[in-house]
């Protein structure tokens, strides 16, 4: 007995990642999210990669050069920000991420 005989469609990894990326984009569109920057890295091309975290979770983020250059402050580890972002999938690795379009620094209230 072939365990795959009743499958309607067997996805390639690329097809699966394309479907997941489309689903995430359609389901969320553009959102606002607040968190603390960690693991910030700057590329030679001017892009910035970092994680946004809260007390119990984190998500990878990318902010491309044009958006990064439009900020009137410099992103840094430990900074609390409010970010407008698109929810997406980095298809090559199948990793969920946020593409940050805009950010503003938030003042922490203790």
In a domain, 5, yes or no: no
Q: The domain spanning residue 89 has which CATH number? A: 2.40.50.140
Q: Which pLDDT tens digit goes with each residue over 47-100?
A: 999 999 999 999 999 999 999 999 999 999 999 999 999 999 999 999 999 999
- Average of per-residue pLDDT values in the chain: 92
pLDDT for res 109: 64
Does pTM surpass 0.75?
yes
In a domain, 75, yes or no: yes
Instruction: Check whether 105 has a pLDDT greater than 70.
Output: yes
pLDDT for res 7: 73
pLDDT for res 49: 98
One DSSP character per residue, 25-74 reads: HHHH-EEEEEEEEEEEEE-TTS-EEEEEE-SS-EEEEEE-HHHHHT-SS-
Could you tell me how many helices (H) and strands (E) the chain has, helices first? 2, 5
> Phi and psi of 25, rounded to 5°?
-60, -45
Number of domains observed in the structure of the chain: 1
Range of the domain at 38: 13-105
């Amino acid at each position: 007995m072939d365990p795959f005989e009743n499958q309607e469609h067997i996805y390639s990894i690329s097809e699966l990642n394309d479907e997941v990326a489309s689903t995430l984009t359609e389901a969320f569109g553009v959102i606002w999210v607040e968190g603390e920057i960690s693991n910030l890295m700057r590329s030679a091309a001017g892009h910035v990669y970092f994680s946004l975290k809260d007390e119990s979770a984190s998500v990878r983020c990318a902010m491309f050069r044009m958006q990064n250059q439009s900020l009137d402050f410099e992103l840094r580890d430990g900074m609390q920000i409010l970010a407008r972002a698109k929810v997406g999938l980095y298809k090559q690795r199948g990793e969920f991420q946020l593409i940050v379009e805009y950010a503003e620094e938030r003042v922490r209230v203790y």
